[in-house]
Amino acid sequence: MTGLSSIVMSPYLILLLICHLLSDYYFQSQKMADRKDRDKKVLGLHILYVALPLIVVSLCHLDLWWICLIILLTHAGIDYSKPWVQKQWNLTTSWTFALDQFLHIGIITCLVLFGAKNGTTYLPLDSLNLIFYVLLVGKPTNIVFKILFAKYQPTMEDKMDTITGAGSMIGFLERLIIGACLVYGQFASIGLVFTAKSIARYNKISENPAFAEYYLIGSLFSILSALLAAWLCL
């Protein structure tokens, strides 16, 4: 499969974007994300988590030390000023999130494409792209869905008893399977994944229209996000 990854072939860019996903999503809990806007100690802890993967990259690739430093400083500045910007511009949560991620990713991209020399990493580019895809379709995609489609979530009366976090894990595994189907050219198998989910939820879908609509939104978003991530990474 060919996509943007076949055009922008920069191992340094993929490596630093992986660092961003790790620090802004996987090293940061939802509780920390909610508290860092009000508690500067929590914000400082988050910046420490941002620094950790950047330090590792700087030690492995000494020519990137200044780029990693700028990324760290700008990340701290953006997160520190985000509550003030949100209040002054009267931004919703979704717009604040989008602006925050656009600035972080935009700065990383510009620094690498215009400031870094072409270099090689310890891992081959294909391996980096695969790691990037797995990280991208995991927690970041789940968070984006919750932010964008929170208003469509069924009320407490419409919900069914489920294991906490099971829905997010199912979506993650679904996107991994879709990625594998795309890599191996098994496009028809993507429909089987959607069918299997529908069979498992058939009773709830048939009995609860609100849940059925939310389920359909989530499934379509999961498939679209997997296709977009595959185009970016694979």
* pLDDT tens for each residue of 121-151: 888 888 999 999 999 999 999 999 999 888 8
> Same domain for 55 and 92?
yes
Q: Are 11 and 128 in contact (CB under 8 A)?
A: yes
Q: Which amino acid is at 227?
A: L
The domain of 72 spans 4-122
> Same domain for 24 and 66?
yes
**Cα dihedral angle (117, 123, 126, 128), rounded to 10 degrees?**
-80
Nearest to 177 by CA among 188, 167, 162, 164: 188
Q: How many domains does the chain have?
A: 2
pLDDT at residue 6 is higher than 90: no
> Same domain for 26 and 106?
yes
Q: What is the pLDDT of residue 167?
A: 81
Question: Considering the entire predicted model, what is its pTM?
Answer: 0.90
> Same domain for 16 and 118?
yes
Q: Are 74 and 107 in contact (CB under 8 A)?
A: yes
> Same domain for 177 and 82?
no
pLDDT, tens digit, 9 for 90 and up, residues 63-82: 999 999 999 999 999 999 99
> Same domain for 23 and 111?
yes
Residue 172 lies in a domain: yes
Q: Which amino acid is at 67?
A: I
The helices-and-strands tally (H runs, E runs) of the chain is: 11, 0
**Of 122, 141, 174, at which residue does a domain stop?**
122
